[in-house]
Amino acid sequence: MPSPQNSFESLKCCVIIPTYNNAQKLEAVIQDVLQYTHAVLIVNDGSSDSTAEILNNYNSLEIIQLSKNRGKGKALLAGIKQAYKLGYNYAISIDSDGQHLAKDFQLFLDKIAEKPNILIVGARNMTAYGIPSGSSFGHNFSNFWFKFETGKALPDTQSGFRLYPLKEMNNRHFYTNRYEFEIESLVRLSWAGVEIDWVPINVLYPDDRITHFRKFWDFFRISILNTVLVIVALFWIKPRDLFRSLKRGEAKRIFREQILRTQDSNSKIATAIGFGFFMGIFPIWGFQMLVAIFFASIFRLNKVIVLIAANISIPPLIPFLLYLSYLGGGLLLNQSIGLGFSTQFDFKNIKNDLFQYYVGAIAFSIILGLLGGFVSYILLFFFRKEIKTSENRK
């Protein structure tokens, strides 16, 4: 097994230590890290204690001084950008409060040698003695939302002990400054297709440990971030990933796994088909698929079936659907039904035609959705053997 020093050099990996007012622990952390590598960047995030004096003793290391406190996210990014400029491929971030142990570096190095260009998180054992109860709650909360936003599971999404792939980090702009950056970076790199893995690490929570995590405000900021990420995931990322998989020629596999072998009951499949038909006609052109995915996720309908059914509004059918909606609106509004829209081009006629179309489209989408769901259920009842699951037996 290669020594950590050799591994750091061969993999072009460095260590980044962001620090803010942790002078009492900082020197011990630096000395611990230097046992394994001298490729170290320390980011002083505007500390007002004796941090600057301590760092004067380490002139051989790369020291980045921020004139004022910018937050952990900004400090990490400053270190990441500098490390990338210096030619490193990877950077391991370690907190300066003494909770992480440099002896765990080798776990990251072994993993990245096996699987290059991934992001690795050091996962703490949150059931160990001495872990604060608040940390355990935040840990579970964060893990849940990460899985919802990405579809992937990680045992510890809040750990600051990580290995970052610098090229992937340097190629994108991040929006958060403080502790929530660690969540944003995980989610957005996952969305970008970067694989994320983990290694088990040791962790210490000494009585004199200093933390700058503000339980209310930082938790509030993380909650706001997760709200934004959930909206983006539902309205953009999940539809994007589905369409990409279809473009990659995976239609047969998706049809087989998501439709033919689905565990959903016949009634739930029929509901997904009917809802897809409804969304395909409902007059919110340009947003139909996004809204369909959003509500399919909310009501736990098969998103693939919903999207396929929503494509009833494919281009060859659109003129007929528009015209039928317009005629239906005329019937509902007791308007005289001609062969087309008003021939006189003025604001009043355009407004009346659009109103007639919208009324008809809403009614048409409801009727077609109900009819499509009903007919689908009848066909499924006769031609599909329903899979008996615990949900179906309830």
Are 82 and 160 in the same domain?
Answer: yes
Which one, of 311, 310, 313, 239, lies nearest residue 274 by Cα?
310
| 302 part of a folded domain | yes
Are 316 and 228 in the same domain?
Answer: no
Residues 79-99 pLDDT 10s:
999 999 999 999 999 999 888
Q: Annotate 242-276 with DSSP letters as a single string.
A: HHHHHHTT-HHHHIIIIIIT--S-HHHHHHHHHHH
Q: Is the pTM of this model over 0.85?
A: no
Are 199 and 288 in the same domain?
Answer: no
Interatomic CA distance for residues 370 and 29, integer angstroms: 65
Residues 214-237 pLDDT 10s:
565 667 888 888 888 888 887 788
In this predicted structure, the answer to whether residue 344 has a pLDDT above a threshold of 70 is no
Are 367 and 340 in the same domain?
Answer: yes
Q: Between residues 71 and 394, which one has the greater pLDDT? A: 71
Q: What is the structure's pLDDT at 42?
A: 97
Expressed as residue numbers, the domain containing 223 is 4-236
Residues 45-65 pLDDT 10s:
999 999 999 999 998 899 999
Interatomic CA distance for residues 269 and 277, integer angstroms: 12
Residues 278-318 pLDDT 10s:
998 898 876 787 788 888 888 888 888 888 888 777 666 67
| 380 part of a folded domain | yes
In this predicted structure, the answer to whether residue 135 has a pLDDT above a threshold of 80 is no
| 141 part of a folded domain | yes
What's the number of domains the chain is made of?
A: 2
Q: What is the structure's pLDDT at 394?
A: 46
Instruction: Single out the residue in 176, 211, 236 at which a domain terminates.
Output: 236
Are 215 and 281 in the same domain?
Answer: no
Neighbours of 221 (CB within 10 A): 18
Q: Are 25 and 97 in contact (CB under 8 A)?
A: yes
| 102 part of a folded domain | yes
Are 277 and 368 in the same domain?
Answer: yes
Are 146 and 253 in the same domain?
Answer: no
Q: What is the structure's pLDDT at 138?
A: 64
Are 150 and 267 in the same domain?
Answer: no
In this predicted structure, the answer to whether residue 346 has a pLDDT above a threshold of 50 is yes
Q: Are 66 and 78 in contact (CB under 8 A)?
A: yes
Are 154 and 204 in the same domain?
Answer: yes
| 185 part of a folded domain | yes
Instruction: Single out the residue in 188, 212, 236 at which a domain terminates.
Output: 236
Q: Are 218 and 142 in contact (CB under 8 A)?
A: no
In this predicted structure, the answer to whether residue 197 has a pLDDT above a threshold of 70 is yes
In this predicted structure, the answer to whether residue 189 has a pLDDT above a threshold of 90 is yes
Q: What is the structure's pLDDT at 1?
A: 54
Q: What is the mean pLDDT of the chain?
A: 83
Are 70 and 203 in the same domain?
Answer: yes
| 95 part of a folded domain | yes
Buried b (16+ CB within 10 A) or exposed e, 80-116: bebbbeeebbbbbbbbbbbbbbbebbbbbbebbeeee
CATH number, domain of 73, equals 3.90.550.10
Residues 348-368 pLDDT 10s:
677 787 888 889 889 999 999
Are 213 and 292 in the same domain?
Answer: no
Are 44 and 156 in the same domain?
Answer: yes
Instruction: Single out the residue in 236, 259, 291 at which a domain terminates.
Output: 236
Structure tokens at 129: 């003695």
| 76 part of a folded domain | yes
| 56 part of a folded domain | yes
